[in-house]
Amino acid sequence: MPAYIPPEIIDDIISAVSVDRDRYPGYYTLAKMCAHTLAMCALVCRAWLPRSRARLFEVICIRNQHSYDMLVERVVWSETMSKYLPSVNSLYLEDDSEHSLSSAARLFLIEFTGKLPGLRELYVNHLDWTHQQPCVKWPLLLSQFRTITYLRLDDCRFSSFNDVRRLLTALPLLSTLQISLLRWPMVSQELHLHTTPRSCTCWPELRTLDIYYPEAVMPRRGLETLLKWITAALGASGPTVKKLSCGFYGLPPTGLLRATAVDFVRRVGQSVTDLHVRLVDNLPLSEFLALKYLSCDLYRYQGNWGRVASVLQDVSSKMIQSITFYTYTLSRSQRVIPVLSEGNNDGNSLHFDHDSLEELDRVLSHDPFRNLQEVIFEVDAHEKDQEELLRAHARRYLPNLCERRKILRVKIYRGLEGLEVDREL
């Protein structure tokens, strides 16, 4: 190794210590690993220190009161370290097992105002926002971080839906919004008082929207409240959402919630090109007029592939290029689904190796699917020796798709090992 390495090469090496969020599902865990690596780089020598620190501060993870206090004491109040705060691009607020972060999270909105000009991504997980300190109008404080374009709220508790609404509208530059498991106490007349605003565009740059709400976590009326408000917040001139992911784990076939969900789909369906849904929700696919990429999660979907085929016949877009199915094998579904559904009896849930698969082959060989470029089955298997059996099953029951070269792919995930096998049939 040469005695001297040009500083630009050192900077390039250190800059390579990064994680692509879109490529790696475990982005948060890998980000922490990168932080440790960058901290070690900063200790190598004086030449490595500046770039290492700048990269180190691109992602900050706060998990408890202690880590928050250390950040304030050693960085915010430090003349030498505070200069790195403008490097912060992503911030994680995730309460750990100590459950001590919720009060500090509100203080963050005050103590970091004006100190994070480069903040673009905010992840908030497992926080209780029902405390009344520092003030009752705390959601508006988030407007001090108007540079945020990516917001994820997961498993958070609020005092009222009013706080949720005010927090979300405080960030007009959002391009990605992910909402999952938000909870608040329901009050009488809430639907009429807080969820029927005049139609206005709260996020003119919004391109990606994810909404997930299991029934066991949130009352159906709360989901109705959220969907009705978001439908209005997307604006009267037409939404800009291109990528939509939603999962409600089984909408009722009739009633106000079903009607509200259909209204929501009609609003976003004009612009969405990339859609991920749980088929058990039975959303009207005919409303997605510009659809190009469709992903169908078959978790807890009961019946056979003939029912799936009939659902796909509702697709009206002539631009469909790709369809992906997320499913299990029979043996895997018998082990996994009862656990995920907290003991519910889902023995009839659809699985990949069901002999009705040929119904899907027939439907996908005709309009509006003649322009399909790929059909992907992502199969969660259990036994290691199932790979060839599953591929033989696909060749037998999907002959038309197999004849169209490279259109059919089967990915095999072998349980908790995370092993992926992806080969052409």
pLDDT value of position 405: 63
What pLDDT sits at residue 36? 63
Per-residue pLDDT of the chain (425 residues; tens, 9 = 90+): 566 667 666 666 666 665 554 444 444 555 555 666 666 666 666 666 666 667 777 888 888 888 889 889 988 898 888 888 998 999 988 887 666 677 777 788 888 888 999 999 999 988 888 875 556 566 677 888 889 999 999 988 888 898 888 889 889 899 999 999 888 887 765 544 444 555 567 898 999 999 998 765 556 778 889 999 999 998 765 679 999 999 987 788 888 889 999 999 999 998 999 999 998 888 999 999 999 999 999 877 877 888 899 999 999 999 999 999 998 776 665 554 444 444 444 446 677 877 788 889 889 888 888 888 999 988 887 666 677 788 888 888 888 888 876 678 888 765 433 334 445 55
Written in H, E and C, the secondary structure of the chain is: CCCCCCHHHHHHHHHCCCCCCCCCCCHHHHHHHHHHHHHHHHCCCHHHHHHHHHHHCCEEEECCHHHHHHHHHHHHCCCCCHHHHHHCCEEEEECCCCCCCHHHHHHHHHHCCCCCCCCCEEEEECCECCCCCCCCCHHHHHHHHCCCCEEEEECCECCCHHHHHHHHHCCCCCCEEEEECCECCCCCCHHHHHCCCCCCECCCCCCEEEEECCCCCCCHHHHHHHHHHHHHHECCCCCCCCEEEEECCCCCCCCHHHHHHHHHHHHHCCCCCEEEEEHHHCCCHHHCCCCCEEEEECCCCECCHHHHHHHHCCCCCCCCCEEEEEEECHHHHHHHHHHHCCCCCCCCECCCCCCCCHHHHHHCCCCCCCCCCEEEEEEEECCHHHHHHHHHHHHHHCHHHHHCCCCEEEEEEEHHHCCEEEEEC
The per-residue pLDDT for 343 is 43
Confidence at residue 339, expressed as pLDDT on a 0 to 100 scale: 40
The domain locations on the chain are 1-56, 273-425
Q: What is the pTM of this model?
A: 0.84
Note the pLDDT of residue 215: 63
